[in-house]
Amino acid sequence: MTELTQNQNDKTVQKLLKKGFDALSRSNFKVAAECCQEILALQPDYVQGHFLVGLVGLATNDRAIAFDAFQSTVKLDQDHVAGWAQLAKLYMSEGQVNRADAALRETRRIGTEDPMVLDLIGTTLTQMGEYSVAKAFFAKANVIRPEYPPFMMNLANNLVYQGDTETSGLIYQDVLTLQPDSAQAHWAYATSRKAKDETHLKTMRKYVNKHKKNPRALAFLQYAIGKECEDLELWESAGDAFQKGAEARRSTVEYDEASEIEMFDYLKQTFTSEWVNDGSDGVDDASPIFVLGQPRSGTTLIERIITSHSQVHSAGELQQFGLAIRRMGGYISPIRFSSELFSKAKDLQYNKVGEMYLQTASRMRGKTPRFVDKLPQNYLMIPLILKALPKAKIVHLVRNPMDACFASFKQLFADAYLHSYDQQEMARHHARYRDLMQTWRARFPNQIFDISYEQTAQNLEPNARALIEYLELPWEDDCLNFHKQERAVSTASAVQVREPAHTRSIDRWRKYEDKLQPMVAELIKAGVNI
């Protein structure tokens, strides 16, 4: 190739790269992908071409392509800090914590002043539970590129997790000054503190009509309005807003109830006591404590009680057990839980599952003898946990069915609990969950510790003592002062858990009883005593 031809080739590649990034920014993934193909046909080792392929893979949810492309990027250029940062996030999302950590070490070796990369590193550290370290990266990104709402939001969310709601509130307000109609910022601000008057409420209501054709934005606004109305005890308005928010959100998600029914049936048919006790060995490790149940049922309260003990660390809501099943079973579907997943799980070597779980959780489990994994959905996998980790402790939250259902119904989740945006679907799911838990109790007696949210909130000490005794830990009075912990909390309960146990949420659904009749009727129809 002559020098002139090479120069022409380089110019063509640069034009294609610019066109590809522009197309990606407009979500025109077809054109972006075509530009990638043309770039790599001209220059197969062009680093930024591989990096663009990775970004297109992420945007189109083709994780395999994204992995391959970012790995090619750093192979061709070992100092490509953005490529390492993207790999770290991908590894973390797959539960490959050690590889994510290694990729982050590469970003530290190289160093960067790119705010996008700094923010990405902060996001990955957040997933690792390293909130204080993540804060430094988010803060630096904001210094380098001030008044950029996505960076501001990540920093503010981090501060909420760490209990600094005063500073986070100021940042959310700054975001809303820059983007007054940002539905997500309104929602984040509303959920970060308790409303004292209707000022913000009136502002949000002005934007409802503007977003009426955008259901995702409308969901953010309506849930935020509902939350602030509830703060102000405007029960009628709160109920209307939660219902409208749920309807908007439900229109954006695909909930396959038939597949969920199939999965629950498969679980009950397959994972018997004989299956668990088939003579194979799990991992002889008593360190994990699984706190599980329905979301918004009090799991965070119980976790805080346990992790106030000097011998226990909070590992957060780990995906590691399910990810170990996925990886060992070769399950590649984007659907997190399904009968196909559990079919692949049936014949695995569970000592290997336990080893993989403990290895991939090691970064988050801390240095104490015991740790808590507080992923509510682990209730689906109780037999698998018992087979892989027979000495693990399982703590199950029990809550009034209507309070539990309503608490989920009025919560806007990220990408889980798709059943929670319709009253009847929520009720039917809850009935299936209760039936499954009753099955597990019958099959595995004395291996599941039920603890009542209501009884614990009303009479903390005897219930906390019974819990700590079940965990075979010596009693410590700090377990009654869980609200004084400074540890970050990244759940929907991040604000509430920093106050003592209270009973305000007990029978809260009664404030909305007239509006919740479809939920009530469906639970009664399913034989659930409310």
Say which residues have a Cβ less than 8 Å from residue 170's Cβ, sequence separation at least 6: none
Q: Please give the average per-residue pLDDT across 161-180, as a whole number.
A: 94
**Residue 111 backbone class (left: φ over 0; alpha: ψ -120 to 50; beta: rest):** left
Higher pLDDT among residues 130 and 396, named by residue: 396
Name which of 127-131, 197-201, 383-387, 440-444 the model is least confident about: 127-131
pLDDT in tens, 316-371: 999 999 999 999 999 988 889 999 999 999 999 999 999 999 999 998 999 999 99
User: How many beta carbons lie within 10 A of that of residue 41, not counting itself?
Assistant: 10
* Residue 33 pLDDT: 95
**How far is it, in rounded angstroms, from Cα 267 to Cα 380?**
8
Cβ atoms within 10 Å of 424's Cβ, excluding its own: 15
Instruction: Using pLDDT thresholds of 50, 70 and 90, give the confidence band for residue 80.
Output: very high
Condensed to tens digits (0 to 9), the pLDDT of residues 373-408 reads: 999 999 999 999 999 999 999 999 999 999 999 999
Q: Which residues pair with 305 in a beta bridge?
A: none
For the residues 446-450, what does the mean pLDDT come to? 97
> What is the arithmetic mean of pLDDT over 462-475?
98
Q: In the chain, pLDDT over 90 holds for what percent of residues? A: 88
Over residues 113-133, mean pLDDT: 94
The predicted-structure confidence for 81-106, as pLDDT tens digits, reads as follows 999 999 999 999 888 888 999 999 99
Per DSSP (E only), the strands in 191-292 are 288-292
pLDDT of residue 514: 97
Which pLDDT tens digit goes with each residue over 516-527?
A: 999 999 999 999
Give the model's pLDDT for residue 363. 86
Taking residues 279-292, report their average pLDDT.
96
Q: What is the pLDDT of residue 51?
A: 96
- Chain mean pLDDT for the chain: 94
The three-state secondary structure class of 76 is helix
Mean pLDDT, residues 266-270:
98
Tell me the pLDDT band of 497, cut-offs 50, 70 and 90: low
Q: Output the pLDDT for position 483.
A: 81
Torsion of CA 383, 387, 388, 389, to 10 degrees: 90
Distance CA(370)–CA(386), nearest Å, equals: 17
Q: Would you state the CATH architecture of domain 259-525?
A: 3-Layer(aba) Sandwich (3.40)
* pLDDT for the residue 530: 86
Question: Does the fold of domain 259-525 match that of domain 3-179?
Answer: no
Residue with tokens 């290895």: 359
**What's the pLDDT band for 10 if we cut at 50, 70, 90?**
confident
How do the domains of the chain map onto residue ranges? 3-179, 180-252, 259-525
For 3-179, the fitting CATH number among 1.10.150.120, 1.25.40.10, 1.10.10.60, 3.20.20.140 is 1.25.40.10
Considering only CA atoms, which of 395, 406, 397 is closest in space to residue 530?
Answer: 406
* pTM to 2 decimal places: 0.90
pLDDT confidence of residue 82: 97
